A = this chain, B = another copy of it.
Amino acid sequence: MPNRQRRNTPQRQIILEELRKVTSHPTAAELHEIVRCRLPKISLATVYRNLDLLAEEGSIRKLGPGSQETRFDGNVGRHYHVRCHHCGRVDDVHGISDAVVGKPEQVGGYEILSHHLEFVGICPACKPDRAAEASSV
């Protein structure tokens, strides 16, 4: 695989600039709206494509779904999860107590109800073929 070279387009540049300006953690659609002020004809598809590229190279962070599907857990006891970055598999984490997180009741004015902690890694089965998994986790 010959490494494809990346071009520096105004679209990509401006998307990154605008995302860095705000602290609202916008969705792709919201960012599209923002960027449109400077590039009225930019398409939503371009925003998605560039956000993916930027996340891949580590210039921005993608929040939320590690994947696009919701998963369900029949075990409602307190425990955390590990997700395999390679195959998407999710396992329970035992031996790490809830105490690792300080359980604050107030954070930045929020009244805290709960918290979720997820580890991301490479599962035993995928270790052999792990290649360039390091970024965009």
Residues of A near any B CB (own CB < 8 A): 16, 19-29, 31, 51, 55, 58-67, 69-76, 81-82, 84-85, 89-94, 96, 100-102, 104, 107-124, 127, 130, 133-134, 137
Query: How many copies of this chain are found per oligomer?
Result: 2
Cα distance A94–B104 in the bound complex, in angstroms? 12
Q: Can you list 30 pairs linking A and B with CB atoms under 8 Å apart?
A: A19-B72, A19-B74, A23-B75, A25-B81, A27-B69, A28-B70, A55-B72, A60-B72, A60-B74, A61-B72, A61-B75, A62-B72, A63-B81, A63-B90, A64-B64, A64-B70, A65-B70, A82-B108, A93-B108, A96-B104, A101-B101, A101-B117, A110-B122, A110-B124, A111-B127, A113-B122, A114-B119, A114-B121, A116-B117, A116-B120
